[in-house]
A and B are shown apart, each in its own frame.
Chain A
Amino acid sequence: MIWVNTVVQGLMLGGLYALFATGLSLVFGIMRLVNLAHGDLIVFAAFAILVIVEVLGLDPFVSALLAAPLLFAAGWALQRLVLNRVLGRDILPPLLVTFGLSVALQNGMLEVFSADSRRIRSGALESASVALGPVTLGMLPLLTFASAVAAIFLLNRIFYATALGRAFRATSDDPVTASLMGINPRSVFAIATGLAMVTVTLAALYLGMRANFDPSIGPARLIYAFEAVIIGGLGSLWGTLAGGIIIGLAQTAGAAVNPEWQILAGHLAFLVVLLVRPRGLFPRAFD
């Protein structure tokens, strides 16, 4: 029965990784931009929520709700003022700029918040759990997983059932032709990065409530996010969820065998998927 527990815990952890990856997947899918600062932006958002919790004394969920529009605006401005200028045929400039942003964010946060580990306190939720037959599930992991599914479901609705979503997909296909249909690719990109920052806020909320964080942990989150996106297949949000779950499952399975193997098992699972399905599990039909 212990295996059932491992699988369920892995599934829940996968939800967190999927949340890390959703924003990255969204931005990459629409504008082929690899944002190397993605992990640091998650940590930045976690600090933003923490500040609202501590200064205003609000509940973490309410704080995240307040932080989301601010971070949407930050993402929008980042795209408008910086990233739009470096997007082009050459993929190197955006990589360098986001790498620079990553370094600047880490050092800026170190300066402001120090290297101390912090945590977003969520009171009774931290230890709440529900019993499901032989398995006991933490309330927080369960909420994390449900949020990941809900976020990806909503984003998919936006993608496939709204004018904005069609503009996202059209621009992703071909920005030049899209502009000849009256779409402004630059504002489409800005809205996409804004939306990505909203998913980053959600990821940051659960990251900060689940465990300690400090300014240096961004890059490792970026790696998990990357792996989830690649496993799932570029451009597929449900694929990204599947990717997160596969890493989560591999990590808990690895940890069940030997706690030292947790991280390694996740990376190995990634390599195995790459070997078997180089384009990921759910690649786009047309690229």
Chain B
Amino acid sequence: MTDVLALSGVSKSFGALRVTDDVSFSVPRGQALGIIGPNGAGKSTLFNLITGNLLPDAGRIELLGRDVTRVPAMERVRMGIGRSFQIPQPFEGLTVFENLLTAAAFGRGRREAEVEEACIAILRDTELLRKANQLAGGLTLLDRKRLELARAMATGPELLLLDEIAGGLTEAECRALVATIRALHAQGVTIIWIEHVLHALNSVVERLLVLDFGRVIGIGEPAEIMASREVREIYLGMEF
């Protein structure tokens, strides 16, 4: 199995604060990896390093076997990274369909006519089809989250990065969204998912990574990780 993403020795500091500290891990094709850790553990920073919005101080990032450590964000999108934001950031002045069309055309470097069908299919998969012609600025939270997911999918990603997509949803909404993510994963998309809503996360991912103070303190089978003493102390103390 080939690795879609591989990080080795990646570090990033803001001033004296080391937010990513010698992080190494890899994600094989088709896997869903969950990332957990307390607030401020550096989870979102790690995503920013993977997408190219931040450049690391040290280390190496490989996407599909190619070194992308210094490759700008918009090129990484074309190489196959799709990302959804923690706080949904749709293009509010565009319709839902236009949001996807733009992401698909530019993210894949194709003409709009060539990606229309794919966009419609994604809208159907994410249950947004009936809202296709609404302005994205007027959507509810659940639909905004769906749009985040749909737009990330529209760029045609090999690797899908989900940043706390289940946060802030009701139980029923969360179940609906998880079902959508499972369906996408079943189509073979590789996923890295940062999430605080653990039951949602654990119903999808095959592997779990724990981050604390920018360091990887555990990676492995979800059940094993959740049971480990270190994780319970650092992260799950509040839940047990």
Contact = CB atoms under 8 A, between A and B. Distances in A.
B109 interface: yes
A136 interface: no
B106 A181 contact: yes
B101 interface: yes
Interface in A168-185: 169-170, 172-174, 176-184
A181 B111 contact: no
A85 interface: no
A178 B78 CA distance: 13
A167 B89 contact: no
A183 B92 contact: no
Contacts of B112: 163
A169 B94 contact: yes
B195 to A, nearest CB: 20
A166 B98 contact: yes
Interface string A177-202: 11111111000000000000000000
Interface in B106-129: 106-109, 111-112
* Size bracket, chain B contacts: 20 to 34
Given A177-B89, A182-B108, A285-B135, A166 B94 contact: yes
B92 A173 contact: yes
Interface residues of A, number: 20
A282 B211 CA distance: 48
Interface in A69-85: none
Interface in A151-173: 163, 166-167, 169-170, 172-173
A62 to B, nearest CB: 33
Interface string B30-70: 00000000000000000000010100000000000000000
A179 B102 contact: no
Contacts of B135: 285-286
B105 A163 contact: yes
Given A166-B98, A177-B85, A285-B137, A182 B91 contact: no
Given A163-B102, A285-B135, A286-B137, A180 B93 contact: no
A268 B101 CA distance: 44
A163 B92 CA distance: 16
Contact of A176 (B53, B72, B106): B53
Interface string A244-287: 00000000000000000000000000000000000000001110
A178 B73 CA distance: 10
Contacts of A170: 91, 94, 99, 102
A254 to B, nearest CB: 36
Contacts of A285: 92-93, 135, 137
Nearest to B105: A163
A179 B73 CA distance: 7
Contact of B93 (A163, A172, A179, A184): A172
A181 B53 contact: no
Contacts of A180: 51, 53, 73-74, 77, 83
A163 B103 contact: no
A286 B90 CA distance: 11
A174 B106 CA distance: 15
Contact of A173 (B83, B93, B103): B93
22 contacts: A163-B101, A163-B102, A163-B111, A163-B112, A169-B98, A170-B94, A177-B85, A177-B89, A179-B72, A180-B53, A180-B73, A180-B77, A181-B77, A181-B103, A181-B155, A182-B74, A182-B77, A182-B78, A285-B93, A285-B135, A286-B92, A286-B135
